[in-house]
Chain A
Amino acid sequence: MGMFPGGLRMWADARTVDAVAVTNETTAAVRAVSISKRYGSGGSTVTALDGVSVAFERGRFTVIVGPSGSGKSTLLHCLAGLDSPDAGEIYLGATPLRRLGDRQLTRLRRERIGFVFQSYNLVPMLTAGENITLPLRLGGRTPDREWTDRVVSAVGLTDRLSHRPSELSGGQQQRVAVARALVTRPDVVVADEPTGNLDSVAGTDLLRFLRRCADEFGQTVIVVTHDPDAASYADRVVFLSDGRVVDDLTAPTAELVRAGVRRTGAPA
């Protein structure tokens, strides 16, 4: 923390608590309230999240940055109902997640959350089109043609729908994954290092597209990354270190994010 020993932490905590308080349930798409998560047992316990409280407003594009081991992926998994915290609560809209059974959580993931991972996003034996409509078909729903077409054309994949993932470039595969995430009109789209495996052109492309999702579709997007440039496309950046939220920037620029990253000790 260098320049602001102790002070920054206090300031950040105050802001976070503030955010939870002012973001009422109708505007927060998803929020975490004092969540903690530990891995392992006995002497080798690792604290991944240590009382994190953070809310994500509807229609905004938020980026979570932090060094590796800062707990950012764990936070994302908890927000998305993939992992459950040891303490605290996650609210998706008004729905508390911790007490949900597996069946309800699965339905919730299928209908209200969209996922994009760093890699292995697509089921290899299905075509791009089938991958996109997979969540709908798993739920036994017929895809809404108009919306599906709009999503597909937005990601620019109209002429690639019958291709297998192995026949697509990395960037195209990630765009298929984003289309799949969008197709159910979820409350929130979460992406874990979505540009990690892409070259810089394809990466920039994908981030621009996620930006457009928030702008054009009013889609809530949360992205975990350690790329400060990625953060510059976001409305807001949350800094995580050692399982705590240590900073929170609105309307960030790459420079501001780099400065923040330097303060929190993240490798740029």
Chain B
Amino acid sequence: MIWLTVRGLRARWWRAFLTGLVAAVGIAIVAGTFIVSDTADRFGGDREIDLVRQIMLIAGGVALLVGAFVLNLTISVSVAQRRREMGLLRCVGAEVGQLRRSVLLEASVIGVLGAVTGLGLGVGVALLLRTLINTESFPGHLPGSGLVLAPRTVLAALLIGCVVTVLSALGPAVRAGRLAPVAALHDARPAARRLTVVRMVPGTLLLGAGLAAEPVAVFTLNGFLMLPGGALALAGVRLAGPAFAGRLAEVVGAPVAGASGVPGALGRLNAARSPERTAAMASALMIGLTLLTLIEVLYASARAPLLDEYRRDRADFRLTTFDKSTGASTATMPAGIVDRLRTLDGVDIVVSDRCVPGKDASALFCATDPAALARVVDLEAVAGGLDRLGAGGIAMSEDDAARTGAGMGSTVTVVTERATRTFTLAATYRDTPNFGGFLLTPEGFGQLGGTPTPGLVYMRAADGADRPALEAAVRRIASAADPAIEVQRRADLHERDLRQMAQAAAVYRTLSGLAAVVGLFGVVGTLVLSIVERRRELGLLRAVGMQRRQIRRMVRAEAVIVALVGAVLGLGLGVLFGWGGARVLAHSSAPSEFTLPVPVIALLAVLVAGAGVVAAVLPARLASRVDVLRALAAD
């Protein structure tokens, strides 16, 4: 049977190559990561490369998962398409095992092809990764001389390629063996597979379990639960998808069909009539889209508090003393610096604060003039008045008030290392990620045994002030007072954080985008095969007067509808998991506020529809080139 498999591969080399490419993307990411970490070991790189390696290996794993998914799809379709050939082989005496082994052997050859291509691409990934590592977006540093391709990397790539493709081919191989010999005698069209209980029940259960992991993860604040949850939900959609894909195609296809006449209507019917194929293609796209949406939602959610803080921060300059040994800004500045800054031209207001931690380090108590502070940081007072604190008053964030159950006028007992005092809650405000302490007046702070020497100074320039000149003056005063004082500009402070976040998001977006591209490959491959399968029907349509242009439009409509089904599923799951992720993150050290990036998601939907059009280019061309007479004469 080996020679037969080889002949089959030679006859279908382009299909094998396309299939191999699907596996190659994941292998390239993994191999590239291996190359980079081996290079780091050889030439010396930072420890921080470990983090990069972890992220990249997860990304590679996801790409391999999508790849396996698409492989399973492609091999399934290929086996279904060759059922007559396989039936014929069974008729003339091929055993079940021989056919199964042939499918698996073909898969492992494809795996090796994919691995070799993946290794080649992996070098590119490694080069790109090194560039990224040596810029700001990734931590770490890697010397720029030479890359190490260890035998281990080659072995791993080959192994991964074979294992992934063979695992993906197991199902199709079993089905190939089950083909009755009489299959050779019937029409080439595979019978529509009925939705068996065998698929539906576990599919629905998996989907249910996957979705249930979401509220559990949010409730228990265990974000890691969402990983298996997501995987289960995706597998569930793959299994149970055919149950709703046809209906979904009809619904999302209605506007598409309405916009493109008879070809559009036929495309919609084509998408709806084989729910199995539509579901398979849509779910191949869905994985990448889910990831992309998830990334966008998390990015928007993590960025929201930063943007909020940026908006509410009205201090043009911020002076801190940075304790280099502890990294905390607890050191104090010379007491006179505030007054000296106030004398500068073009200054609107200068406010300072000084904070001490509570005894159990759970709270931070800051002395300041709350009313003045409110002018440089928009504290958005919720209740009470920040200007009416007095010596015995205290202000806290609304979150802290809610957590402690304190209301206006409640007694608040403050315990620090040096003293215990009671205050009255006089105001609550909306906290920002960097500003959420308990606020006291300098007099109140004095009762706690602290001296309100400035720890942090906020400055705001007057309208129309010469900011560069002001900045230079501020820097002069600061360095004269204490060289350890750091002057930060408002824009620098926030934009650096935002830029770093944007760069990280771009990397994740690229990686998820790769998964989506792999999924797109699956759509192209499946569509091409379905065109080959429908040759006769296409010939008939041409014979009764359909133009080539209309055929192309029909195929395009089908592809767009399938892509939109994938978009509905992917965007839906992505938003759901993004919501869960943001909720979990909100309770972690990274502040986050669930934000739905509506324009980005709309853009994604448009891009997916566009991707459908792109995916349809090759299949549509093939379909429009069907020779009428030959298609009708074919058996």
Contacts and interface: CB of A to CB of B under 8 A. Distances in A.
Interface of A: 73, 77, 82-83, 102-103, 106-107, 109-111, 115, 117, 119-126, 130, 134-135, 137-139, 180, 192, 197
A120 B11 contact: no
B151 interface: no
A107 B91 CA distance: 10
B182 A115 contact: no
Interface stretch (B93-101, B124-132, B305-313, B568-576): B93-101
B529 to A, nearest CB: 16
B635 A120 contact: yes
A83 B182 contact: yes
A83 B91 CA distance: 11
Interface range on chain B: under 10, 10 to 19, 20 to 34, or 35 or more?
20 to 34
B1 A117 contact: no
A135 B85 contact: no
Contacts of B10: 125
A77 B96 contact: no
Nearest to B85: A123
A115 B7 contact: no
A125 B1 contact: no
Interface string B61-98: 00000000000000000000000110011111111101
Contacts of B7: 125-126, 130
Contact of A102 (B8, B96, B184): B96
B95 A111 contact: no
Contact of B181 (A109, A121, A130): A109
A73 B185 CA distance: 10
B92 A135 contact: yes
A138 B12 CA distance: 21
Given A120-B635, A125-B7, A125-B8, A82 B182 contact: yes
Given A120-B635, A124-B85, A109 B92 contact: yes
A156 B231 CA distance: 60
Contact of A138 (B11, B89, B182): B89
Contacts of B1: 138
Contact of B95 (A77, A103, A180, A192): A103
A103 B96 contact: yes
A107 B182 contact: no
A106 B266 CA distance: 43
Contact of A123 (B88, B98, B180, B181): B88
Interface in B251-279: none
A110 B184 CA distance: 15
B520 to A, nearest CB: 29
Nearest to A106: B95
Given A123-B85, A124-B85, A192 B91 contact: no
B78 to A, nearest CB: 13
Contacts of B96: 102-103, 106
Contacts of B12: 125
A197 B182 CA distance: 19
Contacts of B635: 119-120, 197
Highest count of chain B CB atoms <10 Å: which of A110, A120, A130, A135 = A120
Interface of B: 1, 3-4, 7-8, 10-12, 84-85, 88-96, 98, 180-182, 184-185, 635
Given A125-B11, A192-B185, A139 B88 contact: no
8 contacts: A77-B185, A82-B91, A82-B182, A110-B93, A117-B184, A120-B635, A125-B11, A134-B89
Given A77-B182, A82-B182, A192-B185, A138 B92 contact: yes
A109 B184 CA distance: 14
A83 B635 CA distance: 23
B181 A82 contact: yes
Given A102-B96, A110-B92, 18 more contacts: A82-B182, A103-B95, A103-B96, A106-B90, A106-B96, A109-B90, A109-B91, A109-B92, A109-B181, A117-B185, A120-B635, A125-B7, A125-B8, A125-B11, A126-B7, A130-B7, A135-B92, A138-B93
A180 B89 CA distance: 12
Highest count of chain B CB atoms <10 Å: which of A106, A107, A197 = A106
A187 B586 CA distance: 78
Nearest to B86: A123
A120 B93 contact: no
Contacts of A138: 1, 89, 92-95, 98
B542 to A, nearest CB: 22
Nearest to A122: B88
B92 A115 contact: yes
Contacts of A111: 93
Nearest to B188: A120
A197 B633 CA distance: 10
B3 to A, nearest CB: 8
Given A120-B184, A125-B7, A126-B7, A106 B94 contact: yes
Nearest to A126: B7
Sort A-B residue pairs by CB-CB distance and give the 9 closest, nearest first: A110-B93, A125-B11, A119-B635, A135-B92, A135-B93, A138-B93, A125-B7, A106-B95, A82-B181
A1 B8 CA distance: 52
A122 B7 CA distance: 14
A182 B8 CA distance: 25
B219 to A, nearest CB: 49
B10 to A, nearest CB: 7
Nearest to B94: A138
B93 A124 contact: no
Contacts of B84: 120
Contact of B93 (A119, A121, A139, A197): A139
A121 B84 CA distance: 10
B15 to A, nearest CB: 12
A115 B92 CA distance: 7
A138 B97 CA distance: 11
B184 A134 contact: no
B88 A121 contact: yes
Contacts of B8: 125
A123 B94 contact: no
Nearest to A140: B1
Contacts of B92: 109-110, 115, 134-135, 138, 180
Contacts of A130: 7
A106 B184 CA distance: 15
A121 B91 CA distance: 10
A109 B88 contact: no
A147 B165 CA distance: 42
B181 A120 contact: no
A215 B67 CA distance: 58
Contacts of A117: 184-185
Contacts of A83: 182
A126 B11 CA distance: 9
Nearest to A134: B92
Contacts of A119: 635
Contacts of A197: 635
Nearest to B91: A115
A119 B635 CA distance: 7
A94 to B, nearest CB: 20
A117 B85 CA distance: 13
Contacts of A134: 89, 92
Contacts of A77: 182, 185
Contacts of B98: 138
